[in-house]
Structure 1
């Protein structure tokens, strides 16, 4: 097979956008398509090599896997080894446990299956996975475990027949991918069958070039490069992948492979010394970038700035050159005695793989080596555990002392009200009283207010909740109703900038409202709720929203303790941000004609203008990024009780 310098240059076009995308540079919102470019290149090169050997009757399965081992494993194992000490020093027990699981699956070329079951590639949590990027290596290895065997089985067939079979498999895989993202986009991203077609397109390119001179077209090769560049800058994580959208970078890569012959403008551009040089080290650069970024994010607790991530991007290229020069090349050239024979390569690969599996199992079975933590750090974990009052029957939930005096109070709301119920139950039990409780996660304490999303207090769950709520209206023994919720979820949307879910105020006969209508729909539902409660003779307390944070508070508290950090300013929330988040809620409350008592949460847990999610001695006030623990809610419960009295 003739060496093509421009193909190595094309690798640079693939790897740089991936690095800059993972570094968090918004300009490269579609940089993840670089992996799709790699898939097509890989399919083209490997298929061309295999078909040449089959044609010359020199093909050997053992030699093929030896080449793969020499090409892939040395640099991969070296980077994995470099990750171990930093994971041990900087990862929390659960993070280290998860990392240990990923080590095992990477060693077995199954990491795509593991990440498929664990996370969304575009979620913030994915950025903290040092080996996340190995999913693409696993898919390639799975493809090349089957593909050579298939070619060997069809070696007596005509080339056109083999090409037709591969084309048919490509179409099946593509159709599956287009169907799968509609079923579960997060899992489809990592799924092997959803991705095989991309490598298969590269294989088809190889069949189109067998026995023919290299095609040459400035127009088509430029169009191909333009398609790749377009996807890098125009795409974002909102686009389903893989899908029909993936055709843009895949077809673009195929056009470059097929038509960027030596002498074309694209071939000259890709053969430039700098571009070609990055292409040569692209595999090692791909291996290094994600661990560098993940550990930087772990160590800094908050998102590092563009300057830091830019410097780490350069560092990835520097480390890539060193790895290419001193790890990749010696293994390919058989420079050392243990690497001279195929047996030696397989034995070393097996031994290293087994060692990583053992290390990964030790970290997983050892629960992330919890014994590394100090007594205070273990206490931080213990005190941040979620606390809830368990009650499955919404129609008959009571807080306080069993058989105690009924207080005449009912508490209604979503999971935030459910969290308050834990401590309210203790207070009422000490007083010898009971109170009604109607809470359900994602269910706003509003009458005639529904979400069409079944997993967001929709369907039967909404009916049960609202039936229990209406039961309170007709209960003459109840004189006071306390409403508590994560209010802004139902107006602005889910915390951390996620899109709002549409809700309908069914009281006005309108249905299928969009999320843009939530503010007015919320106001109408709040007005109806307060009016009906007033008509039923109920006094109403509305507990204001708690400050919400864009990070996992217990994790931050534990990492601050582990790293000895003392500056907590980066984790504070300003009053203006809090007011902005809840502006539509406060606006709706201010417009209500019916009387109610408002419990302002901010002054109960915050300073005048800023709020921290930690105690003064570093313990978390939240069990996640929005649900309070005991220490966080004590003042709020005291204020509610005082207001009731």
Structure 2
């Protein structure tokens, strides 16, 4: 493996900003216009891309992966804001005298909300069921670092293994449509939320990072620099939004989106041709929103649920404004009171070289 560039990349935070805005706007009532699900898929890709870069940097330096440090950093990154969100949720339940399900609390705390939501949808509130995507990421983080360490010494075989693994979720999505039928809520939850049917969305990012750092004959870089391939990838992303066939949406959609992001995201980050797009994503506003993205993700459904009476009362515009303001207040509070202090603590558990911020 060649030495990787491990400097902070603002455009990745900008892309996070775009993604969380897609999720937020979809959830406040524009899901038929704004593809919130695509925003989640982009988050998955970014996560795989950055985590693999972190692991490559550590392996290059030490020829090993310190799993204790890795999982400590992940815990300090993700768990304190999650606890902040669950405390807010508890306050919300007390104020609204809403039903409380102990099983949902355990599912949220121990990262299996996606399987809980699939098996017990009536006991999953909108506030907690969004944690399905966090569960997918955490399950992946448990399995991928050991796999990385096993395969990192044989890079070409590593690439082949990742490519083969990409077909497993697709096969499971196809078999799921046969088991649960091709339409309805059950099959949508099965193909959209479960780890074993969605981990390929993260793995496309892993594969892109691995190919960039291997740089075998510069072949992947040449593909990224080809404008025709970039345009095809953009058309594929857009086509996935408009093609409404149920079988396609439950199966091939995520694979095609992953392949498209496999081209689009690394190209924007690394190819000079797309500097205008990179500059746009590096704008201060988008980068700032991107840095708040995890806090926004955790708190926006609390704001939506708490202020839903405004929409039900016909005050739709007021609802949009109020939810945006309350989400901003909660997210900024979470960022400064929880995320930043624990980010300083997390630095104590980093290897002694510079890494991309995950």
Alignment TM-score > 0.5, same fold: yes
Deviation at 1:223, TM superposition (A): 5.8
- Counterpart of 2:12? 7
Aligned equivalent of 2:87, options 81, 98, 112: 81
TM-score (norm 1): 0.47
The answer on whether the counterparts of 1:21 and 1:29 sit within 8 Å (CA) in structure 2 is: yes
- Counterpart of 1:56? 61
Does residue 173 of the first structure (1) align with residue 205 of the second (2)? no
- Counterpart of 2:355? none
Deviation at 1:240, TM superposition (A): 6.5
SS for the counterpart of 1:28 is coil
CA distance in 1, matches of 2:342, 2:131: 20
Structure 1 residues 236 and 321, CA gap change in structure 2 (3 angstroms): farther
CA distance in 2, matches of 1:241, 1:304: 34
- Counterpart of 1:605? none
- Counterpart of 1:130? 127
TM-score (norm 2): 0.81
Deviation at 1:137, TM superposition (A): 0.4
Q: How many residues align?
A: 328
Does residue 38 of the first structure (1) align with residue 34 of the second (2)? no
CA distance in 2, matches of 1:78, 1:282: 15
Higher relative contact order, chain-length normalized (CA < 8 Å, sep 6+): 2
Could you say which structure has the larger radius of gyration?
Answer: 1
Does residue 198 of the first structure (1) align with residue 201 of the second (2)? yes
Does residue 105 of the first structure (1) align with residue 94 of the second (2)? no
Structure 1 residues 250 and 148, CA gap change in structure 2 (3 angstroms): same
Deviation at 1:227, TM superposition (A): 5.2
1:11-22 to 2 correspondences below 5 Å = 11-22=16-27
- Counterpart of 1:96? 100
Deviation at 1:129, TM superposition (A): 2.3
SS for the counterpart of 1:319 is helix
- Counterpart of 1:311? 322
Structure 1 residues 304 and 250, CA gap change in structure 2 (3 angstroms): farther
Structure 1 residues 223 and 240, CA gap change in structure 2 (3 angstroms): closer
- Counterpart of 1:579? none
CA distance in 2, matches of 1:205, 1:16: 24
Structure 1 residues 277 and 218, CA gap change in structure 2 (3 angstroms): farther
Unpaired runs of 5+ residues, structure 2, are: 1-5, 181-186, 351-358
CA distance in 2, matches of 1:129, 1:254: 31
Structure 1 residues 217 and 153, CA gap change in structure 2 (3 angstroms): closer
CA distance in 1, matches of 2:285, 2:230: 20
The answer on whether the counterparts of 1:181 and 1:189 sit within 8 Å (CA) in structure 2 is: no
Aligned equivalent of 1:117, options 116, 119, 123: 119
CA distance in 2, matches of 1:69, 1:230: 37
- Counterpart of 1:249? 257
Deviation at 1:317, TM superposition (A): 3.3
SS for the counterpart of 1:2 is coil
SS for the counterpart of 2:127 is coil
Structure 1 residues 129 and 236, CA gap change in structure 2 (3 angstroms): farther
The answer on whether the counterparts of 2:225 and 2:271 sit within 8 Å (CA) in structure 1 is: no
CA distance in 2, matches of 1:243, 1:304: 38
CA distance in 2, matches of 1:60, 1:304: 53
What are the superposed Cα offsets for residues 304-352 of structure 1, whole Å, 9 maximum, x if unpaired? 72530343134323432332233112111129xxx9679xxxxxxxxxx
Deviation at 1:258, TM superposition (A): 1.8
Deviation at 1:29, TM superposition (A): 4.7
1:290-305 to 2 correspondences below 5 Å = 290-297=301-308, 305=316
CA distance in 2, matches of 1:247, 1:310: 36
CA distance in 2, matches of 1:318, 1:236: 37
CA distance in 2, matches of 1:235, 1:305: 30
- Tell me how large the CA RMSD over aligned residues is: 3.1
Name whichever structure is richer in helix by fraction.
Answer: 2
- Counterpart of 2:282? 271
The answer on whether the counterparts of 2:73 and 2:349 sit within 8 Å (CA) in structure 1 is: no
Structure 1 residues 298 and 178, CA gap change in structure 2 (3 angstroms): farther
Does residue 258 of the first structure (1) align with residue 263 of the second (2)? no
Deviation at 1:26, TM superposition (A): 4.7
SS for the counterpart of 1:23 is helix
Deviation at 1:297, TM superposition (A): 3.3
Structure 1 residues 299 and 274, CA gap change in structure 2 (3 angstroms): closer
What are the superposed Cα offsets for residues 270-298 of structure 1, whole Å, 9 maximum, x if unpaired? 11121222111111111111222233337
1:102-501 to 2 correspondences below 5 Å = 102-119=104-121, 128-156=125-153, 158-184=154-180, 185=187, 186-212=189-215, 215=221, 217=225, 219=227, 224=233, 228=237, 234=242, 242-260=250-268, 261=270, 263=272, 264-297=275-308, 305-334=316-345
SS for the counterpart of 2:100 is helix
